[in-house]
């Protein structure tokens, strides 16, 4: 490894996602888990060219879709993993980037049934402030205390054109699409208002507090605001355009969860729509590197964990 400021291997691989220049495309579809990434790589029209799994298990599949180079990558869960993914992809990709996240979410809106899709037009981050939990108190917090303990950022906006393309492509499949404000929370539990007997989160009434204080609050998940935040502060000469679509998995008002089969069907529908949106997005200055890149090499190349036969990995994509 070299360079303590931005560590990378002698070969130029980044420390965490473990990719080097030429192995990722300017158009990126990011997902939370490996089965979703593999199911997207199997969608009609996607031709996988290069499959990579990092020691820390981030996995990327770079290929061609409707003539465009697209990388499907697992950004796993939470702010930190999205941070590694976007910053290290940025390092190995030249020129502008378009990134779409397809994830799942909870919704507080009784009018949004599980299985509907939410493409927010605003995002906010929520962080639990540890300084508000240092005493022995276990009584529910007042509205003022909730506002101090679960700190909500100001709104951030995705790329309006990419979000609009995403909505149009999803609507064309017959799915209902909602917009509103998406909260990316530091926890699946405390800051999303899930009640625990094991920890003094003191978060009774937190979802109602968000509903009272955040206009058009439509969904809660754990990464999208950070993606949008990184995109808005990307270097001006190498812009990042970002948007996100979320499958309503948890209906928080009625306490209903989407079934696994319905979830996987929704993933395939939204994944195809996201590929179509990414392929249609205008991205001037895109650099498909056919010299060091993977797009012109015949067949599928693969870098996986040491003790795995690439043939077994590729079978997953058949």
Residues that bind ligand URA (CB under 6 A): 104-106, 188, 192, 220-222, 249-250
* Binder of residue 96, out of ligand R1P, ligand URA, none (CB less than 5 to 8 A by kind): none
* Binder of residue 72, out of ligand URA, ligand R1P, none (CB less than 5 to 8 A by kind): none
Query: How far is Cα 107 from Cα 252, in angstroms, rounded to an integer?
Result: 6
Which lies closer to ligand URA via its Cβ, residue 106 or residue 293?
106
Residue range at the interface with ligand R1P (CB under 6 A); choices 9-17, 26-34, 151-159, 211-219: 26-34
Taking the complex as a whole, the smallest distance from the CB of residue 310 to ligand R1P amounts, in Å, to: 26
Query: How far is Cα 303 from Cα 14, in angstroms, rounded to an integer?
Result: 14
Torsion of CA 274, 275, 277, 283, to 10 degrees: 130
Query: How far is Cα 302 from Cα 67, in angstroms, rounded to an integer?
Result: 21
Residue 207's alpha-carbon distances to 147, 162, 198, 298, in angstroms, are 12, 29, 19, 52
Query: How far is Cα 191 from Cα 129, in angstroms, rounded to an integer?
Result: 10
Residues within window 272-311 making contact with ligand R1P, judged by CB under 6 A: none
Kindly tell me the sign of the dihedral angle through the C-alpha atoms of 5, 9, 15, 18: positive
By CB under 6 A, name the one of 188, 189, 295, 304 that touches ligand R1P.
188
Query: How far is Cα 148 from Cα 162, in angstroms, rounded to an integer?
Result: 34
* Binder of residue 32, out of ligand R1P, ligand URA, none (CB less than 5 to 8 A by kind): ligand R1P
Taking the complex as a whole, the smallest distance from the CB of residue 188 to ligand URA amounts, in Å, to: 5
By CB under 6 A, name the one of 88, 109, 223, 286 that touches ligand R1P.
223
Binding site for ligand R1P (CB under 6 A): 31-33, 77, 103-104, 188, 221-223
């Amino acid at each position: 490894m070299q360079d303590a400021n931005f560590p990378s291997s002698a070969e130029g691989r980044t420390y965490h996602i473990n990719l080097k220049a030429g192995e990722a495309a300017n158009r990126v579809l990011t997902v939370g888990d490996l089965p979703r990434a593999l199911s997207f790589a199997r969608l009609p029209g996607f031709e996988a060219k290069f499959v990579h799994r990092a020691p820390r298990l981030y996995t990327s599949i770079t290929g061609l879709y409707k003539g465009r180079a697209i990388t499907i990558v697992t950004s796993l869960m939470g702010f930190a993993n999205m941070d590694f993914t976007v910053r290290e992809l940025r390092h190995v990709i030249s020129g502008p980037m378009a990134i779409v996240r397809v994830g799942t979410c909870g919704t507080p809106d009784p009018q949004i049934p599980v299985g509907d899709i939410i493409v927010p037009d605003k995002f906010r981050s929520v962080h639990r402030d540890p300084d508000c939990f240092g005493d022995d108190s276990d009584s529910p917090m007042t509205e003022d205390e909730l506002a101090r303990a679960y700190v909500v950022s100001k709104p951030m906006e995705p790329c309006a054109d990419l979000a609009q393309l995403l909505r149009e492509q999803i609507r064309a499949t017959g799915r209902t699409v909602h917009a509103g404000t998406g909260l990316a929370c530091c926890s699946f539990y405390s800051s999303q208002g899930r009640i625990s007997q094991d920890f003094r989160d003191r978060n009774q009434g937190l979802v109602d507090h968000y509903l009272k204080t955040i206009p058009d609050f439509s969904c809660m998940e754990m990464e999208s605001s950070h993606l949008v935040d990184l995109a808005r502060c990307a270097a001006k000469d190498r812009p990042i355009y970002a948007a996100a679509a979320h499958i309503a998995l948890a209906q928080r008002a009625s306490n209903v969860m989407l079934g696994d089969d319905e979830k996987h069907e929704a993933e395939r529908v939204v994944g195809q729509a996201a590929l179509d949106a990414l392929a249609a997005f205008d991205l001037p200055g895109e650099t498909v590197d056919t010299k060091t890149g993977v797009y012109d090499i015949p067949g599928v190349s693969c870098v996986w964990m040491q003790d795995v036969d690439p043939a077994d990995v590729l079978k997953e994509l058949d």
